[in-house]
A and B are shown apart, each in its own frame.
Chain A
Amino acid sequence: MNKMQEYSLEVLKQFDGKEGRKAYVACNGLVYDVTDSFLWQGGKHQVSHMAGTDLTSELEDAPHDIEFLKRFQVIGHLV
């Protein structure tokens, strides 16, 4: 089981979901593991949202709210 840990934006970039890497996304200071989500295959969501990034500002324009991300496991904090 992953322990909660701190992720900088630089470290988060490594978890881009490509080439077999894990896919993590940050939002509102929390880091979520979306690796196993059908909608995050290859580290990309609905064409323009990338894993390994902080999606806080992008969520404002999304057709869903933070509740959607809360379905995923929180594995750390963004610092």
Chain B
Amino acid sequence: MAKVTREMVTKAGVNVDELVELLIKNAGAELTTYYYYTILRINLIGLQGENIKEIAETARIEDRNHFEAIVPRIYELGGKLPDSMKEFHDLSACPPASLPKDPTDVMAMLKVLVEAERCAVRGYTHICNLTAGKDHRTYDLSQSILNEEIEHESWFSEFLGEGPSGHFLRRGETSPFVSKFLR
């Protein structure tokens, strides 16, 4: 734990125990999403599925990166991951991104994907709101993750016909915003 780090955040008026719990829940959401997106990506087959497969894979890897980036901050603030992975799964901030009943239905797959990203966008927006101007490191971390989650949402939303995402898919390395926390 980083003692003075925690003190500074407490002094700024943040309930650090609640913040740590939120970080653990969102870390749980990232790791479970990485798992469930593996299944989704594998099932994105055929002419329609192939178009989405690469995007799903990028989101999957970046969500895993988000987990890696959040974990040190949990420990810096005096928290810890649950001893049980099952418990970690069940306390996730977002519901499981489970395979739809008909895995050949690409639109149904996209809806699962976009809802998972929307849950993440809400979660990190909330953490940013709690920490802005008070916990500069957690804010920086959450904002970085939020930037990537927003891009994930926009890609899947575009494929659902909800309008342009406004940008290209990834060109080059994954996690352009979060990678600085992965060194």
Assembled-state Cα–Cα distance A7/B94 (Å): 29
* A47 & B25 in contact (Cβ 8 Å cutoff): yes
* A38 & B96 in contact (Cβ 8 Å cutoff): yes
A64 within 8 A of B: yes
* B90 & A63 in contact (Cβ 8 Å cutoff): no
B125 within 8 A of A: yes
By a CB distance below 8 angstroms, the chain B residues around A61 are 129
Smallest CB-CB separation from B93: which chain A residue? A46
- Chain B 95-127 against A: per-residue CB contact (8 Å), 1 yes, 0 no? 110000000000000000000000001110110
B162 within 8 A of A: no
Main secondary structure of the interface of B (DSSP, over half): helix
Main secondary structure of the interface of A (DSSP, over half): loop
* B18 & A48 in contact (Cβ 8 Å cutoff): yes
By a CB distance below 8 angstroms, the chain A residues around B77 are none
Given A38-B96, A63-B129: 17 more A-B contacts, CB < 8 Å = A38-B92, A38-B95, A39-B94, A39-B95, A41-B90, A41-B91, A46-B22, A46-B25, A46-B93, A46-B123, A46-B126, A47-B22, A47-B25, A62-B126, A63-B121, A63-B122, A64-B122
Which 9 interchain pairs have the tightest Cβ spacing?
A: A63-B122, A38-B95, A63-B125, A47-B21, A63-B126, A47-B18, A47-B22, A64-B122, A48-B18
Interfacial residues, chain B to chain A (CB-CB below 8 A): 18, 21-22, 25, 90-96, 121-123, 125-126, 129
Interfacial residues, chain A to chain B (CB-CB below 8 A): 38-39, 41, 46-48, 61-64
